[in-house]
Structure 1
Amino acid sequence: MDEQRRTGGRAESTAALLLRDFVNTLDVECATDAIDTPARLAEWLAARGPASPRVHADQADVDLARILREGLRTAMLAHHGPGDPASPLAPPTLPEELERALGRLPLRLTLADGAPALIPLGGGAAGGLARIAAAVTESAADGSWPRLKVCLEDTCLWAFLDTSKNRSRSWCSMRVCGNRTKTRAYRARRRTRTAPR
C-alpha cells in the first residue's frame, strides 16, 4: 500500500490509527490476514501496544478478533454520507455478532482522570481486543470516528481516515481505487451507448 493509503496525509489520533490498522489486518485485495492464527494475533497485539509483549492467544481469541474487525469495517463503511455518489444506497447493517463480541470484552467505565473513559480489564488477547474496542469511544471523543471510512472499491475495502475538509473521500487512494472505479463506470457507459438496439 502506498503511504497516502496508510496515513491519509495528516496527523491522526492514536485511537484512529489503532482502529484503522486493526481493520487493515485483512488485506482484501491480496487475500492476506495478519491475525489468522493465535500466534499472529498475539504478535500483532503485542507490536501495536494493546497487549503486553507476552500475550497469549487461542483460536477463540482469533474468532473474536475477526468478528470485531469485520464489524468495525462495516461500521466504517456506514460513515460514507448519503451525499456521496459512490456510497451504498442504504447504510450497511451492523452484524448482530458484533454486539455479542463487544459484550464479551473485559471493559470498565472509569471517571478517575476527570473524563469518562473505557479501560480494558486484565491482559492477554481479550485485554488487547478490549483496548481496540475502547479506542472506538476515544476516537468518537476526539472527532476522528466519523472520519474513519472503508474504501468503496469492493476489491479493496481498505480502512482510511478521511482528512478532506468536507469529509467526502470515497476511496483510500484516488490514484488507484478511484481511478479503477471511474474507469469501470466509463467503460460500462460506453458499452451501453454502443450496444446494438
Structure 2
Amino acid sequence: MSGPAELLRDFVNTYDVETDTDDLTSPQVLRDWLEARGLEPAADLVLARELREGLRAGLRHNHDGVAYAAPEPLETALAALSLRVTVDGGTPRLVPADGAPHRGLAQLAAMIAAAHADGTWPRLKVCVESTCQAAFIDASKNRSRAWCSMRVCGNRTKTRTYRARRQAEGPGMPA
C-alpha cells in the first residue's frame, strides 16, 4: 500500500476537473478502487465523492502554509464516518470504529491524520490552475510548488499572464 499522502492524492485524482471525468462511476467501481489499495470496500458513492471534493477543497489551503480549519464540505463528509483512536505499538492512530459503515472511506479519512503525523500533509496540494486542480505532492525543498506540472499548468498560467500584460500595454508597444 502507498503512504497516506499518495493514497489521498490518488483518491482526489479519481475526478479530473479539466475533462470532467469521474473514475468512480458506480458503487462497484468504488469498492474495486478501495480493495485494489488494500482498503475495505464501501459502496456509498455519494459520500465518497463528498469526501473527495472536501479533500480537494482542503488541499487548496496547503499552499499558504497557514493552519486552517477544514472546509465545510470536508467536515460534513468526515462527520458521516465513524473513527476511533487505537494505540498500536505505542503509537496512536485512527481506525474505523468496530461495525462502522463505510469502513473503506473511514480508512481514507484516517489517512489525513496519518499524513499529518508523518509530515506529508502540508506537501499534499492541488494545482492552482483553476481548470486542473489535480492533487500532487510537493517535493520541492521550500514547499513552494503551485502546479501539478510546470510544463503544462505552469506554462498555461504564465502564458495567460504574459498575454494579459501585453494586452494591457495596448497596441503599438514594441514586442
Q: Do both proteins adopt the same fold according to a TM-score greater than 0.5, normalized to the shorter chain? A: yes
How far apart, in 2, do the equivalents of 1:91 and 1:187 lie?
Answer: 35
Q: How far did 1:122 drift?
A: 5.1
How far apart, in 2, do the equivalents of 1:125 and 1:40 lie?
Answer: 18
Q: How far did 1:56 drift?
A: 5.4
Q: What percentage of residue pairs aligned between the two structures are identical?
A: 56
How far apart, in 1, do the equivalents of 2:68 and 2:45 lie?
Answer: 24
Gaps of 5+ in 2: none
Question: 1:78 is paired with a residue of what secondary structure?
Answer: helix
Q: How far did 1:125 drift?
A: 7.2
Structure-to-structure mapping, 1:1-197, within 5 angstroms: 14-51=3-40, 55=41, 57=43, 61-81=44-64, 94-121=70-97, 126-194=102-170
Stretch moving more, 138-147 or 42-51 = 42-51
Count how many residue pairs are aligned between Structure 1 and Structure 2.
171
How far apart, in 2, do the equivalents of 1:145 and 1:101 lie?
Answer: 18
Gaps of 5+ in 1: 1-12, 83-89
How far apart, in 2, do the equivalents of 1:91 and 1:108 lie?
Answer: 24
How far apart, in 1, do the equivalents of 2:17 and 2:121 lie?
Answer: 22
Q: What is the CA deviation profile of residues 3-22 of structure 1, one whole-angstrom value per residue up to 9, with x for unaligned ones?
A: xxxxxxxxxx6101100000
Q: What is the CA deviation profile of residues 33-92 of structure 1, one whole-angstrom value per residue up to 9, with x for unaligned ones?
A: 1113212111111112112xxx351xxx1111111111111111101127xxxxxxx999
How far apart, in 2, do the equivalents of 1:120 and 1:26 lie?
Answer: 24
Question: 1:71 is paired with a residue of what secondary structure?
Answer: helix
Contact kept? 2:58, 2:74, Cα under 8 Å: no
Q: How far did 1:113 drift?
A: 2.1
Q: TM-score, normalised by structure 1?
A: 0.79
Higher RCO, 1 vs 2 (CA within 8 Å, ≥6 residues apart): 1
Question: 2:125 is paired with a residue of what secondary structure?
Answer: strand
How far apart, in 2, do the equivalents of 1:128 and 1:122 lie?
Answer: 12
Contact kept? 2:129, 2:157, Cα under 8 Å: yes
Question: 1:188 is paired with a residue of what secondary structure?
Answer: helix
